[in-house]
Structure 1
Amino acid sequence: MTLTLQIILVLASILMSVFVLLHRGKGGGLSSLFGGGVQANLSGSTVVEKNLNRYTVIVAVIWILCIIGLNLIQAYGL
């Protein structure tokens, strides 16, 4: 059980990193400093961006549940 949760945790961590890096800049960062913010503000939120948000939240919930599960296993020796 512990090994399974650890593998899922590593995969969720990698996926969450990729999904966060795939998000478009919302302005205020380095992308807007070089003119990327103007283009991001002109285009609306697309279906792809909304789905990417949903997938990021789902992977984050899985990541948190794996951490809680591993902590419970370590604390109670389940």
Structure 2
Amino acid sequence: MNPLLIIMLILLIVSGLGLIVFILLHSGKGTGISDMIASSVYSTQTGTSIVEKNLDRITIIFAIIFLVSLIILMFVYPQGTIAQN
């Protein structure tokens, strides 16, 4: 297997799992997992907004990594199959 293929597949899988985890950590209407964590760590509203901003940043980073690795895989293997030699 091509080393580029292995690296891109690992990045795609890890970033996809990271996206799932960090999207689930976001709060909807104040009842999410992030609010539970933030309320136990921080007692002020300022702490909650810092946690939410960090969750947003991490989610955006995972989304960018996911999209870039997917686009690279699309250009490297346009037919969607990997030929075995």
RMSD (Å), alpha carbons: 2.0
Q: Which residue of 1 aligns with 2:73?
A: 70
Over the matched positions of the two proteins, sequence identity in percent amounts to 35
Alignment of 1:14-25 (within 5 A): 14-25=17-28
Q: Which residue of 2 aligns with 1:11?
A: 14
Count of aligned pairs: 62
Return the offset for 1:75.
Answer: 2.5
Whole-Å separation in 2 of the counterparts to 1:54 and 1:26: 19
Return the offset for 1:46.
Answer: 1.0
Q: Which residue of 2 aligns with 1:52?
A: 55
Whole-Å separation in 2 of the counterparts to 1:26 and 1:9: 30
Q: Which 4+ runs in 1 deviate beyond 2 A?
A: none
What are the Cα deviations for residues 25-66 of structure 1, in whole angstroms up to 9, with x where unaligned?
Answer: 148xxx6xxxxxxxxxxx676100001001101110000000
Give the TM-score, by structure 2 length: 0.65
